[in-house]
Structure 1
């Protein structure tokens, strides 16, 4: 299971609050902690802990946070020899409410210095991986470049379209599996997936643009998948959430692992749900994963 991740690396500054702060409100935090994050890093660490051989293409800052982030990823089975060092390491300011919901402010830092040229220099790595994992916390042109190289080599390309934004058809045609949540799917298609009929309509829009399959993460409602031949629902794992930060990233990392080992799309989604369900019971986006997944 050789997986390459092209994406973001952040340091997460997490504040526990009674509720997500409202406009104009000042709120006391009950606790503060520092965790490793970034959607790309979260996904890579998940896949690495689940047994995949993971290489990472990205950037951290030339600072202490960057060194700490690299050490953390290496300790969790992610190779970082292709990670550059420039500027300041990306950061996320995260509020986590007593109910487990979160609100995030991103400072991209070095993540926005990941260039198409940096990606192209590592095309041999992309061509020899089994799967490529992508998100949208680095420049879109770099994401598009990576997807094109991997797709032309016949590799599985998984794109988590977060944070949501308009995506060019050139990119979507090279995506094997698109993994939006409900909000992201609505932003991509203009269709509010309030029920299965509208959900399938929205997925049809993405399939018509060339995406191979759509897997929609639906929180406590589980996940929905659809391609040109089948669709289905996978129930969520029932847990008491502590922190939902990184749940979607864990889902994507686990999905890539399951697909690389030969699982069907329904089996892979079920497995990804199980891993994401465990992650939300822990604080931080990169908890240690128990053996047995």
Structure 2
């Protein structure tokens, strides 16, 4: 498949991590060693999670990312292929990104993220995939890769006429030049507060603010007013992948031509379904599951 010959519904540009999760009775104090009760490895990274969510929601999805030349990178690349994602992977000399996660008996955690290869998703990597970005219907980005690369990807996609979505996580201050490139920004309630509120985002040039509110659903804010998308009633057991599920489903729905209200309803359903299962990638719902809940 050559870059210029294929138009994707959704292109995701972002991070790929291997999550290393240790379960402990209590989190260690500085200088202390504690015994763990369980250890597991999971695919992760907001970029990878959202690419899988988009694909499972039904979108023809491409993913631009950086992986190390290591076993973790091989594992994550295989997952992308198994999920049916068109993986545009740049092999990097740094290790694949890792998240080191300790979880105690009460569900509290401490997390150390080592970006590794993700930190090298540079402007040259974005430029190498210009054709893919120019031929996308929707571009979805997050903030776990260099900010300059996010801005470049958004700018190229806008030239091609794509609709652009930014999930501003982890939250950081964003200047007007990047916000003006966002048709839709999709923060949670904590991230939108750190960014100065929805009104400030609209004033900076964002067209639509979609705020995920967890168990309270989704709020859509535009220059014309606010709209509340009610939550779906589910039994939530783990919200780890809920936000990424919502982002991927929203991108898929917008690419299919749905308006923002219908797209946000599907995003709310996807987030709710993800909260009913453990893990991130393992919890992301399929098209049929989303259809069933929405209808």
Fold match (TM-score > 0.5): yes
Within a 5 Å distance, the mapping from 1:154-173 to structure 2 comes to: 154-173=161-180
| Structure-2 residue corresponding to 1:192 | none
Picking from 43, 62, 74, the partner of 2:69 is: 62
Question: Separation in 2 of the partners of 1:221 and 1:26?
Answer: 39
Task: Deviation per CA, 1:149-197: give whole Å up to 9, x if none.
Answer: 11122211100000111112111000010011111111111xxxxxxxx
Question: Separation in 2 of the partners of 1:103 and 1:270?
Answer: 32
User: How far apart are 1:98 and its partner, in Å?
Assistant: 5.7
Normalised TM-score (structure 1): 0.88
| Structure-1 residue corresponding to 2:19 | 12
| Structure-2 residue corresponding to 1:181 | 188
User: How far apart are 1:95 and its partner, in Å?
Assistant: 4.1
Q: Is the 8 A contact 1:126 1:146 kept in 2?
A: yes
* Structure 2 residues without counterparts, runs of 5 or longer: 1-7, 291-295
| Structure-2 residue corresponding to 1:275 | 270
User: How far apart are 1:111 and its partner, in Å?
Assistant: 0.3
Q: Is 2:236 aligned against 1:241?
A: yes
User: How far apart are 1:240 and its partner, in Å?
Assistant: 2.8
Within a 5 Å distance, the mapping from 1:63-78 to structure 2 comes to: 63-78=70-85
Within a 5 Å distance, the mapping from 1:171-210 to structure 2 comes to: 171-189=178-196, 202-210=197-205
Normalised TM-score (structure 2): 0.88
Q: Is the 8 A contact 1:100 1:243 kept in 2?
A: no
Within a 5 Å distance, the mapping from 1:1-293 to structure 2 comes to: 2-17=9-24, 21=27, 24=30, 29-80=36-87, 82-86=88-92, 87-96=94-103, 103-189=110-196, 202-287=197-282, 289-290=285-286, 291-293=288-290
In structure 2, do the counterparts of structure 1 residues 230 and 17 end up closer, same or farther at CA, with 3 Å as the change threshold? farther
User: How far apart are 1:235 and its partner, in Å?
Assistant: 2.1
User: How far apart are 1:97 and its partner, in Å?
Assistant: 5.6
Q: Is the 8 A contact 1:223 1:236 kept in 2?
A: yes
Secondary structure of the corresponding residue to residue 130 of structure 1:
strand
* Structure 1 residues without counterparts, runs of 5 or longer: 190-201
Q: Is the 8 A contact 1:11 1:89 kept in 2?
A: yes
User: How far apart are 1:270 and its partner, in Å?
Assistant: 1.3
Question: Separation in 2 of the partners of 1:9 and 1:142?
Answer: 15
Question: Separation in 1 of the partners of 2:275 and 2:95?
Answer: 29
Question: Separation in 2 of the partners of 1:144 and 1:34?
Answer: 31
